[in-house]
Amino acid sequence: MSGKFWGGRFKEETNTLVDQFNASIGFDRRLYEQDIKGSMAHCKMLGEKGILSEEETSTILEALVEIKRELDHNELQVNEEYEDIHTLVEKTLIEKIGPLGEKLHTGRSRNDQVALDVRMYVRDCIQSVLQGIRNMQKSLVSLAEQNQDVLMPGYTHMQRAQPVLLAHHLLAYFEMLRRDRTRFQDTLGRTNVMPLGAAALSGSTFDLDREMVARELSFDAISRNSMDAVSDRDFVLDFLYSASVLMMHLSRLSEELILWSTQEFGFASISDAFCTGSSIMPQKKNPDIPELIRGKTGRVYGDLMALFTTMKGLPLCYNKDMQEDKEVLFDAADTVDACLNIMASLLKSVSFDRERMSSAIQTGFLEATDLADYLVRKGLPFRQAHEVVGKMVLFALQEKKELRDLTLAQMKTFSRQIDQDVYEWVDPSLCVKRRELPGGTGPGQVKERIKEARKELEK
Ligand code: ARG
């Protein structure tokens, strides 16, 4: 049968431009495993309900297994003659077993079929992203562990602010990734709902066992409204949003790696294996990989915006616009997987210049907050302490000195409360040790967080 499944009411041949323009087979062939699995579950259920005989059921199932094998091995011609993957599988089935194959679509529409396939596909994508997040978290924890004692400036407004541990900085990304994981798990919960049985839009005249199909395909639940089931692409948007936030996190880390490996910062170095050179400037070693991750973030945001815009004006139920959900989904899924994968490896290759990082806290008055806290301990209200230290910083700047270089007599002109014990408080290398409160950058806290993170990753 070379004609269309829907050819009955048409008098004219389809224009070849329409065939090409309308077809999704070029990209949705990637759903073949999901499509065949879904068809097998539907077929078994039709058998169970007596809509197909036992023999019919097993003949169809065997043929579907064969089609899957042929697609696995690229043995089937996939061209625009088949509108989409659903048509390809069904037509191939009919070619193989004749008119019996024409019974498979009983009680089903491509509308619920495609919703099913995409849900199964998103489910698989989420598993893969979760694995990728885990690998990246492992790399971050290892880096934090190896650099537990390295001090560095923490920044706000990109100005030196207060000393922190490098490990604390790295573990901040661990936390972001943990939230990303929960976002994807959340998405999985809403994705894992089985739409088959909605048929075109209103359900079916057949007494389909939807619960059985859900069990067969490991869905947690069945959809509760047939019109919603074939109209909804929220779960794809959830995935794209989760992917966008994840990419934003990867992009910020990338930006820091790029910055830190400049000569100006000189904090970090990405190994040669993860850098590239210039075709004209022989000395160059460029951080292309983090740059590309930063760049690809824009394209994942684009995928999200594209589908948002596609969906916003659609009346219920299925509209062909929705075929546009696939390329953005595939693009985002591929991009996120690739970025997570390479970032997890690249991180293992990063080395830090401990000396340079630690010495960067010596200038820039990163201990000024601690000095204000010292004055509070001596009885000054914080606002006054802040003012006093501000004046001391101004004085030190004019004298081209650090706070620790001022004499006690000089310091006392700013506040009579200042004593000899002040010098401990103007040593920036002691600042992190004072921050052993939960969530702070104190070495004990950070050590504890590393332990917890390790435990979490073992689960
Ligand atoms: N290729 C279509 C899509 O991806 C499948 C559903 C088509 N349904 C229809 N009634 N034309 O959205």
Ligand 1 centre from 205 Cα, in Å?
21
Burial class (CB in 10 A: 0-12, 13-18, 19+), 80: middle
Q: Which fold has domain 111-149+163-359?
A: Fumarase C; Chain A, domain 2 (1.20.200)
Ligand 1 atom closest to the Cα of residue 24 is 1
Q: What is the dihedral of CA 155, 158, 160, 164, to 10 degrees?
A: 20
Q: Please state the rounded mean pLDDT for residues 292-299.
A: 98
> For ligand 1, atom 4, which residue shows the shortest CA distance?
323
386-440 tens-digit pLDDT? 999 999 999 999 999 999 999 999 999 999 999 999 999 999 999 999 999 999 9
Out of 3-7, 112-116, 230-234, 452-456, least confident range? 3-7
pLDDT of residue 80: 77
Ligand 1 centre from 231 Cα, in Å?
11
Cβ neighbors of 370 (< 8 A, separation 6 or more) are 425, 426, 430, 431, 434
181-223 tens-digit pLDDT? 999 999 999 999 999 999 999 999 999 999 999 999 999 999 9
Contact criterion met (CB below 8 Å) for 82 and 126 = no
Ligand 1 centre from 302 Cα, in Å?
23
Ligand 1 atom closest to the Cα of residue 85 is 1
d(CA 334, CA 327): 10
Largest CA distance in the chain: 102
Mean of pLDDT over the chain: 97
CATH tag for 15-106 (out of 1.10.275.10, 1.10.3720.10, 1.10.10.10, 3.40.640.10): 1.10.275.10
Q: Which residues are catalytic?
A: 157, 278
Would you place residue 459 in the very low, low, confident or very high pLDDT band (cuts 50, 70, 90)? confident
Q: How far is CA 1 from the centre of its chain?
A: 43
Burial class (CB in 10 A: 0-12, 13-18, 19+), 98: exposed
Mutate to test the pocket of ligand 1, among 111, 113, 120 (most ligand atoms within 8 A of CB): 111
d(CA 237, CA 303): 9
Ligand 1 atom closest to the Cα of residue 318 is 10
Out of 12-16, 370-374, 386-390, least confident range? 12-16
d(CA 228, CA 86): 21
> Which sequence spans correspond to the domains of the chain?
15-106, 111-149+163-359, 361-442
pLDDT of residue 2: 47
Which two tokens mark 182? 């929960």
d(CA 103, CA 121): 25
Quick check: 91 pLDDT over 60? yes
Pocket lined around ligand 1, Cβ cut-off 6 Å: 24, 28, 84, 110-111, 114, 318, 320, 322-323
Q: Please state the rounded mean pLDDT for residues 142-167.
A: 98
Q: To which residue do tokens 């064969």 refer?
A: 66
d(CA 417, CA 257): 43
pTM as predicted:
0.97
> For ligand 1, atom 2, which residue shows the shortest CA distance?
323
Would you place residue 1 in the very low, low, confident or very high pLDDT band (cuts 50, 70, 90)? very low
Ligand 1 centre from 217 Cα, in Å?
21
> For ligand 1, atom 11, which residue shows the shortest CA distance?
320
Crossing angle (nearest 10°) for helices 110-146 and 32-48: 130
| Three-state secondary structure readout of the chain | CCCCCCHHHCCCCCCHHHHHHHCCHHHHHHHHHHHHHHHHHHHHHHHHCCCCCHHHHHHHHHHHHHHHHHHHCCCCCCCCCCCCHHHHHHHHHHHHHHHHHHHCCCCCCHHHHHHHHHHHHHHHHHHHHHHHHHHHHHHHHHHHHHCCCCEEEEEECCEEEEEEEHHHHHHHHHHHHHHHHHHHHHHHHHHCEECCCCCCCCCCCCCCCHHHHHHHCCCCEECCCHHHHHHCCHHHHHHHHHHHHHHHHHHHHHHHHHHHCCCCCCCEEECHHHCECCCCCCCCCECHHHHHHHHHHHHHHHHHHHHHHHHCCCCCCCCHHHHHHHHHHHHHHHHHHHHHHHHHHHHHCEEECHHHHHHCCCCCCCCHHHHHHHHHHCCCCHHHHHHHHHHHHHHHHHHCCCHHHCCHHHHHCCCCCCCCCHHHHCCHHHCHHHCCCCCCCCHHHHHHHHHHHHHHHHC
Ligand 1 centre from 388 Cα, in Å?
70
Q: Please state the rounded mean pLDDT for residues 317-335.
A: 98
Ligand 1 centre from 261 Cα, in Å?
49
128-144 tens-digit pLDDT? 999 999 999 999 999 99
Closest listed residue to residue 327, CA positions, set 84, 72, 133, 112: 84
Query: What's the CATH number for 361-442?
Result: 1.10.40.30
Would you place residue 81 in the very low, low, confident or very high pLDDT band (cuts 50, 70, 90)? confident
- Tell me the one-letter amino acid at 115: A
Ligand 1 atom closest to the Cα of residue 326 is 4
Would you place residue 3 in the very low, low, confident or very high pLDDT band (cuts 50, 70, 90)? confident
pLDDT of residue 79: 84
Ligand 1 atom closest to the Cα of residue 28 is 4
Q: Please state the rounded mean pLDDT for residues 239-261.
A: 98
pLDDT of residue 17: 93
The residues that bridge with 270 in the sheet, in sequence order, are 350
